[in-house]
Chain A
Amino acid sequence: MKDPVLVQLLQEIDAAELTAALRCLRDEAHRRMDALFPSLPLDEYYRQLNGVHDALIRRTVALAEAELARSGMGSPPVPYAYLLFGSGGRKEQTLSSDQDSGIIYEDAHSDEETLAAQKFFTNLSARAVALLQEIGYPPCEGNVISSNPQWCQPESEWKRQLESWFETADWEAVRYLLIVADCRHIHGSGELLERLKRHYYSDMLAKPVIVQRMLDNTIRHKMLIGVFGQLLKEQYGEDAGSIDIKYGAYIPMVNAVRLMAVQSQLRPTSTLERLHALEQAEVVTAEEAAAYSEAFLFFLKLRMIATENNEDGMYMNNGKLANHHLTKEMTEELKQSLKVGKRLQRQVQKLTLGKLK
């Protein structure tokens, strides 16, 4: 992060007072990142890009807070944390990621205060989501977003919710649990999330069967490579001939690494950090970690190249890589990487089922 242009950009973001200014800064950052894409090592590229996203979101939440104060709703009644899930939580946002967010706030002491806190954070999240939309972050389609009451709760409620998810362990609950595994705090008190995660992992130890359900959810998306080593491309429609990098390469890998990390009680949220931690914990060998990381970085790269549409001012991306982007060498590398991904999926499966025995 020694790039002086970027450092200045981040400073400007931290100082911005209006969303319009933030939008301009985001556009500028995008241009900057576009220019850097060919030259920067990919992990560094993602670090910088996500640094920008983090700064933008952090600043926007602060602006939302300030707006609430100005309109007479006061300041946060209790400490809180603004949380990122999904690619934001994993520090893997592209130029066109959506909002996956939540809020956790400290328990109030009386019912009255609880109600007041609930009201305040409902307003705050609504404001933050709206402002983020103004800067071009579309809301999450799956409704994992701070303005959804389910993802905006006091600490005790969050813990109760986790427990009930561990208890139910149906498909939906397991999905939520896996989402929480990627959670990262971006603004406010870090201690709150720390406590929640501790709770998560102790619940997890108490219910080893959950891992089996997580495995089912995790290997649901298949690597898009056929038995003859051929790429499995879209057959019909406007995306015919393209390959679904998001759900056919990137997500399966994210899922597999997450499950391994969660099983080993490792806390990092980014896939590459998780792989590193898994290597340290000797769950995977150094060679495996290197191979998985390399394949994953390649998917990240293709994900960046995949089509980008600017719809209604929102940065969008369907994660599908059009055929014309793929050179011969890239196709070859993609096939190799997908095979590595398949190996990883098998390893996770073996690991999980082995532990359950």
Chain B
Amino acid sequence: MVKKMVLTMGAMILMFPAMAFADAPSTAMLNTGLNSLWVMLAAILVILMQGGFILLEAGSTRMKNAGHVAGKTIFTFGLGSLIYWAVGYGIAFGEDGNLLFGLGKFFYNPPILYGENAGLSDSVFFIFQLAFATISLSIAWGGFAERAKLSSYLIFTVVFVGVIYPVVAHWIWGGGWLAEDGAQDFAGSTVVHLSGAVAALAATILLKPRIGKFNKDGSSNQILGHNQVYTALAVLFLWVGWFGFNAGSTVAIETGFFGYVAFNTQIAAAAGAVAAMLISWALLGKSDITTMLNGGLAGLVAITASCAFVEPWAAVVIGLIAGVLVFFSQKFFEKLRIDDPIFALSVHGAAGVWGTLANGFFATPELAATAGVGKAGLFYGGGWGQLLVQLESVVVAGVFVFIVSFAVLYVIKKAIGFRVTEEQELIGLDLSEHGAYGYPEQMKKAQQNLNA
């Protein structure tokens, strides 16, 4: 077989010597092609994370809402994509903007082929960014779960993907004012995760807790999700997808830096899962699966900002702290009587803040230089400067997203109503919003038992 091939090749070269030499692509061309291929692959991984969110959200909620919870993710991913194409991308990355927002590239029409020295295909970069924007959106849905009207999902998608998310992305990634200050957020602990979580917070505050979550005496009830296997599988989906999310954010392969980023991502996530498992075991007497799963995700969220800026030991520390933090954060929100069905506030919010701040402690001078953003952190002789910048970006982005989200959702609440009726909530959103249950047989049986 090999012999045959060598013979054929040899014959071909003899007959058409040009094949071997002429028209070879330039190194730059190859480079751009390989980069684009890598980022396209990463974008696909990030888009697959939507599958993770479908399973995570559906698994963490009740059977009667499963079809709605799962289906609406696809719907809002679709709508979000159109909005991002029409408006969001231009605000985030349009070249004619200022430090506050970008302008241009609306209804984006990318070049069909990339130029020799482009470094990356424009269309691929767009898809990659679109994937991020819609992930942030799906995080926000955590605050809506099991009680928001479908119409509110529709309106909020338009505003969030059209304005809120792109503005923050512009500030930190699109040459905006936080980028000028040197804010380090490699793959979006703040831009993607904190933004989504803060929107979820605004939503869950306005919606109020689900029926039956809290008792009159201040104690809370556990509303268990209907399928822990889905939830666990979701975490694996997200974990794998995260390699696209973080390592893909190098948007280049030349130096192989993406490998290092992936490496940090893996050990931080592992540390998060282990830490959450151990802390819940130690403090509750029994290790809690949900907390452990959230710990893995918290490790991933936290390392998202810092994966390109820190050494491996620091990645482990960041993950460990994220895992412990997520446990206490869950308790904290419960104490405040804020219902967080999918734990979005703790996993993406608390861990997002921590991950962003962590750069201020652990960023090394070499890696800051490699990434070309900001300075070294407190523990590497950088002083307090970087930490303050990180804090600034967290506070500014958090406050901005909260105010705008709250305002929009408040208007929705007053104008058309935000929450389904009590009756609809009890029968489930599958039926009230879509007319059919995601688990028809089981729900029919449950109804029969109820009537009996």
Contacts and interface: CB of A to CB of B under 8 A. Distances in A.
A236 B221 contact: yes
B contact face: mostly helix, strand, loop, or mixed: loop
Contact of B285 (A224, A238, A239, A240): A224
B285 to A, nearest CB: 4
B222 A235 contact: yes
A238 B285 CA distance: 20
Interface string A171-192: 0000000000000000000000
Interface stretch (A126-134, A226-234, A270-278, A288-296): A226-234
Contact of B220 (A224, A227, A236): A236
B219 A236 contact: yes
A238 B282 contact: no
Contacts of B219: 236-241
B220 A226 contact: no
B282 A235 contact: no
A22 to B, nearest CB: 37
Interface string B198-219: 0000000000000000010101
Interface in A208-263: 222, 224, 226-228, 230, 232, 235-241
A228 B215 contact: no
Interface in B38-86: none
B282 A237 contact: no
B47 to A, nearest CB: 36
B222 A236 contact: yes
A136 B236 CA distance: 54
Contacts of B215: 237-238, 240
A240 B222 CA distance: 10
Contacts of B222: 235-237
B220 A240 contact: yes
B285 A228 contact: no
B284 to A, nearest CB: 6
B283 A226 contact: yes
Nearest to B331: A235
A237 B215 CA distance: 8
Contacts of B217: 238
Q: Give the one of B282, B283, B285 with max A CB within 10 A.
A: B285
Contacts of A236: 219-222
A193 B352 CA distance: 67
Contact of B221 (A232, A237, A241): A237
Give the interface centre of B215, B219, B220, B282 by most chain A CB atoms within 10 Å.
B219
B220 A232 contact: no
A224 B285 CA distance: 7
B282 A226 contact: yes
B221 A228 contact: no
Nearest to B223: A236
Nearest to A230: B283
B213 to A, nearest CB: 10
Interface in B261-293: 282-285
A98 B291 CA distance: 38
A4 B275 CA distance: 62
Contacts of B282: 226-228
Contacts of A224: 285
A222, A236, A237, A241 pick with most chain B CB within 10 angstroms: A236
Contacts of A222: 285
Nearest to A234: B219
A237 B220 CA distance: 6
A241 B335 CA distance: 12
A46 B284 CA distance: 32
A121 to B, nearest CB: 38
B327 to A, nearest CB: 12
Contacts of A240: 215, 219-220
A232 B219 CA distance: 16
Contacts of A241: 219
B266 to A, nearest CB: 28
A330 to B, nearest CB: 20
B107 to A, nearest CB: 50
A226 B285 contact: yes
Nearest to B286: A232
A75 B350 CA distance: 75
B284 A235 contact: yes
Contacts of A238: 215, 217, 219
A230 B284 CA distance: 9
A111 to B, nearest CB: 46
B387 to A, nearest CB: 30
Contacts of B285: 222, 224, 226, 232
A50 to B, nearest CB: 32
Interface in B219-262: 219-222
Nearest to B224: A236
Contacts of B283: 226, 228, 230
Contacts of B221: 236-237
A239 B222 CA distance: 12
A238 B222 CA distance: 11
A77 B285 CA distance: 54
Contacts of A232: 284-285
Contacts of A230: 283
A335 to B, nearest CB: 14
Interface of A: 222, 224, 226-228, 230, 232, 235-241
Which 4 A-B residue pairs are closest in the complex by CB-CB distance? Answer: A240-B219, A232-B285, A236-B222, A227-B282
20 contacts: A222-B285, A224-B285, A226-B282, A226-B283, A226-B284, A226-B285, A228-B282, A230-B283, A232-B285, A235-B284, A236-B219, A237-B219, A237-B221, A237-B222, A238-B215, A238-B217, A238-B219, A239-B219, A240-B215, A240-B219
Given A236-B219, A236-B222, A240-B215, 19 more contacts: A222-B285, A224-B285, A226-B282, A226-B283, A226-B284, A228-B283, A230-B283, A232-B284, A232-B285, A235-B222, A235-B284, A236-B220, A237-B219, A237-B221, A237-B222, A238-B215, A238-B217, A238-B219, A240-B220
Interface of B: 215, 217, 219-222, 282-285
